Structures are given as structure tokens and as C-alpha cells.
Amino acid sequence: MKKEDGDNIVLFPNVERRLVEKGIEALQDKQFREAIELLEQGYKLDSDNEDVMAALVLAYFEAGALNKAKELCKEMLMVGQGDYFQIVEMYITILIQLHEYREITKILEALIEEKEVPAEKKEHFITILQFCQRLAEQEPVQPLEEMEAEPFHQEELKPGDLDLFSITDLNEQVGIAGKLSNQNIRPFIDEISAFLSAEEGHPFLKTMLLNILREQEVTNVINVRKFGMLEKINPQELKPPHSQPNDNEAGVQLIKALEHQDPLLLESALSLLARYAFAVYPFELSPADQAAWAAAFEYTALLYLGNEPDMERLAEKYGTIAEHVSEAAGWIGKVEEISYPII
């Protein structure tokens, strides 16, 4: 056995392995706070172990601690831990959840300029790059033809080629949205309208398509159906789907309540809020009481972190009633059922 310098703690052989095993067990049991605590201990003892790092990234992601997941994933890329392109794809998945499109653009531009992208991933990465450039609202960057030794010609989609109902993978959805955002979307109005008005179809993809219609100033009034609700929407009149927590009253209340008390819980709750807002866009679901939503996001985040929260107590904390908190938590649960995993 060994002794840590500067302390009286004695470490027994294989303690790192046991911490990681217990951390992964807790992760599989959805005890995310416990998993994070165990894996962080393992990481402190063996910061070069790529399995520990990958498990900790996943634990952070599942707990909604997306910024911590992002920073650790970025560290893995910088020190060369794990399969490079698997880590890149994991990193991009996290950044998409955080809506950090400028960072995605920066990474993919560098990869393409350095000609490091494997041939089988090139079209996919370029499509994501182009889509994220638009979402980042940047000026047009160096043409891709100048970034490569040979011009790259992206194959355009054609009406009749789209099967929107079959697309469930996050990166594939971003890829399809990226292709559509870089060509005239009007020839696809009928197919997109049918998808938006259907009961089935992933709400996240519906949000991306609505945003493209908004960007291209489409004025057709379209039926949009999500979560059992149906509304007629003019895309040109919509606001952008992405907002900061401070733009949302529930987010403001969460920050006020948790910023100093429990930063990890706050990040998890705000991550839930961001996924929820993107999924239900452009609808606003009942209840209208924003305090109930704040309490419901904290309630769900506590569940994710392995706690057993008291809904009545949280309702009292935020100055609302448990019935409203329960209704809001039910909607959050429905969104989480269809949210994207990291792997």
C-alpha cells in the first residue's frame, strides 16, 4: 500500500480500480451524483486513465453537468486520450447540447484545414460545420474548396429523397438539417409540413426544421404538432429557438436559488431547462406559473443526481403549489424520455 504525500490517508492496492468499478455501477443505476463523486476520486488518483475519464464525461453528461463534461472531453483531446475521432464526436455531441456552435465551427474548420478527417467522416463533418456556421451567425468563412486540396462538392438533397420520420440519431439529424439549411428549402415544404403536422417525428428535428424555415423567411402557415398539441405557425414570425437562462423566468429563479448553494445541481437543472425549451419550441406548455417550472427542474435534477426530493417542500421553496410542480415535472419527464444520449 502507499501513503499520499502531505496527508494521513493510506491508499490500498487497486483502490483506483475499485473506485472506478463502483462509479460505473452507480452510473448504470442512474445514481449520477454518487457516480461523479466516485469517478472524480478515481480521476484524482489516476488522471491519465482514459477509461476513468470517459466514464466521468458520461456521468457529467447524464447528470446534466454539460460544462464539466465539455471541459473534461476537451482535456482528453488535448492530451490525446482515447480514440481521437470518437472523442471528437462525443465533444461535438456535448457542444450541440450546449448550443456552442462557434466552438464546433472552430474544431471542424481546424480538422478540415489540416486534412485530418477520415474519408468516411468528411461529408458528415462538413455538413455539421456548415450548419453550425449558420447557427453561430458568423460571417461566411473561407470557402471549403480553398480549405481542401481538392474541391468538395456536397450532394444536395432532392424532393422525394427525404425520410424525416426514420431519422433518430442526433448527428444524422444535424446533418440533414445542415444540408437543408444550405439550399433552398421551398421545394421541400410539402415533405416538411407533413412531418411537422404528424403525431410522430422527433421534436428536436421539428425544432431544427422550423428554425430553417424561419431563417429562410418562409411565410407559409404550417400546422405544427408536438406533445399532443397542434398549432398553426407562420415561421417568419417566430423568434430563434435558443435562449440563455436569464431570458427565461424559470432559469432566473433557478440561478437565484442554487447559484451559491449547489452549482452542480444548478447546472443539471439548467441543462434540463435548455433541452425542454428546445424540444417544445415554439409552444409554451401548462402550467403558466414559472415558479412551478423552476421547482420542477430542480426536482427532476435532484432525481437524476440520486436524491429523493420532496415536491411539497420544493413548491414551498419557490412559492408555488405542488399540483403545478407535478404537472410541470410530468412534461419534463416526457421530454427527457426522447432526449439524446451521449452514446
CATH number at residue 289: 1.10.472.10
- Is 194 part of a structural domain of the chain? yes
- Is 220 part of a structural domain of the chain? yes
Contact 271, 238 (CB under 8 A): no
- Is 329 part of a structural domain of the chain? yes
User: What confidence tens digit (pLDDT) does each residue in 140-163 have?
Assistant: 444 434 334 344 445 677 777 777
Q: Do 16 and 78 fall within a single domain?
A: yes
pTM over 0.95: no
Per-residue pLDDT at 233: 95
Spatial CB neighbours of 175, under 8 Å, sequence gap ≥ 6: 124, 127, 128, 131
Identify the domain containing residue 219 by its residue range. 164-237
Q: Do 255 and 214 fall within a single domain?
A: no
Per-residue pLDDT at 154: 52
Contact 310, 281 (CB under 8 A): no
Based on its alpha-carbon atoms, the radius of gyration of the chain, rounded to whole angstroms, reads 22
Q: Do 311 and 230 fall within a single domain?
A: no
Q: Do 13 and 82 fall within a single domain?
A: yes
CATH code of residue 20: 1.25.40.10
End-of-domain residue from the set 40, 75, 91: 91
- Is 108 part of a structural domain of the chain? no
Per-residue pLDDT at 16: 76
- Is 120 part of a structural domain of the chain? no
DSSP class of residue 3? E
Enumerate long-range contacts of 221-228, CB under 8 Å, 24 or more apart: 222/192, 222/193, 222/196, 222/197, 223/193, 223/196, 223/197, 224/196, 224/197, 224/282, 225/196, 225/197, 225/198, 225/199, 226/279, 226/280, 226/283, 227/203, 227/280, 227/283, 227/285, 227/331, 227/334, 228/199
Per-residue pLDDT at 341: 55
Per-residue pLDDT at 290: 94
The CA–CA distances, whole Å, from 191 to 65, 167, 208, 250 equal 37, 14, 15, 35
Q: Do 258 and 207 fall within a single domain?
A: no
Per-residue pLDDT at 291: 96
- Is 146 part of a structural domain of the chain? no
**How many independent structural domains does the chain possess?**
3
Q: Do 14 and 50 fall within a single domain?
A: yes
Those residues of the chain that have pLDDT short of 50 are 1-13, 138-153, 342-343
End-of-domain residue from the set 91, 115, 133: 91
Per-residue pLDDT at 146: 39
Per-residue pLDDT at 12: 37
Q: Do 1 and 87 fall within a single domain?
A: yes
End-of-domain residue from the set 75, 91, 107: 91
Cα(251)–Cα(282) distance, integer angstroms: 17
β-sheet bridge partners, residue 224: 231
Q: Do 249 and 316 fall within a single domain?
A: yes
User: What confidence tens digit (pLDDT) does each residue in 98-156 have?
Assistant: 888 889 998 888 888 876 778 878 877 888 887 788 777 643 444 434 334 344 445 67
